[in-house]
Amino acid sequence: MKFGLAVLRALVGGLMIGHGTQKLFGWFGGYGPDSTGQFFERLGLVPGRRNALAAGAAEAGGGALLALGLATPLAGAAITGTMATAIATVHAPRGPWVTDGGWEYNAVLGAAVFAIVDAGPGAFSLDAARGRERWGTGWALAQLGAGLAGAALTIKLGRANAAAAPAEELPPNPGSAPDGSPQPAAER
C-alpha cells in the first residue's frame, strides 16, 4: 500500500496541478485568469479574476504538495476547498453525474484527498523523509473542515462583492454553453 499511496498522490496531485494551471496560465486547454475570471463573476464569485487566481493557486499548489507528500493536510484542505466551491457554485444543481455536468468528479477528488490524509502520505513522501507525517482521522476531518470553511467564506465574500458591485454586461466566455457553463473540450 505504501507504493499505492505514492501513485494515488502523484495522479491526483498531478491532475490538480494541471487543473490549476488552466486557470493561472491557460495551459492544457484552459482559459487563463481573465476568461476564467469572467466565468467566476457569472457564478457570483466577484472579483472574478482574483478568485480565478486564488482557485488556480490552491489547485496547483495543493496538487504539488499532495504529489510530493508534503504538508499533506494543507494540500487536502486546498483541494477540498476548491472542489467544494465548484460543487456549490456550478455542479450541485445538475445532479451527481459528470455526463450532465454534475458533481461526481469533484466528490471523488474530495474523497481521495480525505483518504490520503487519513492514511498518511506514505513512506515515499517528503513528509515521511522529514519525519513530519501528519495523518489520521483527526487530520482528515480537520482538512475537510478547513476546506469546507474556505469554500463557504469564498462564496459568501464573492456574493457580497457581487451584490455591492454595479451590474455590467460580461462578454461570453470562450468555449461556454449558452447558460455560461464550460463545455468539455470535445464539444468545443
| Average pLDDT for the chain | 90
Mean pLDDT of 140-164: 97
C-alpha 132/C-alpha 65 separation (Å) is 14
pTM of the complete model: 0.86
DSSP bridge pairs for 176 = 182
Residue 123 CB-half CA count within 13 A: 4
Residues 6+ apart with CB under 8 A from 43: 89, 90, 158
C-alpha 99/C-alpha 144 separation (Å) is 26
Query: How big is the CA angle at 74 (ends 72 and 77), to the nearest 5 degrees?
Result: 110
Mean pLDDT of 78-101: 97
Alpha-carbon separation of residue 96 from 90, 156, 171 (angstroms) = 12, 24, 29
What pLDDT, on a 0 to 100 scale, did the predictor assign at position 93?
Answer: 95
What pLDDT, on a 0 to 100 scale, did the predictor assign at position 166?
Answer: 76
C-alpha 75/C-alpha 11 separation (Å) is 14
CB atoms within 10 A of CB 3: 10
Domain edges within the chain: 2-163
C-alpha 70/C-alpha 116 separation (Å) is 12
What pLDDT, on a 0 to 100 scale, did the predictor assign at position 167?
Answer: 67
Task: Please tell me what DSSP assigns to residue 123.
Answer: S
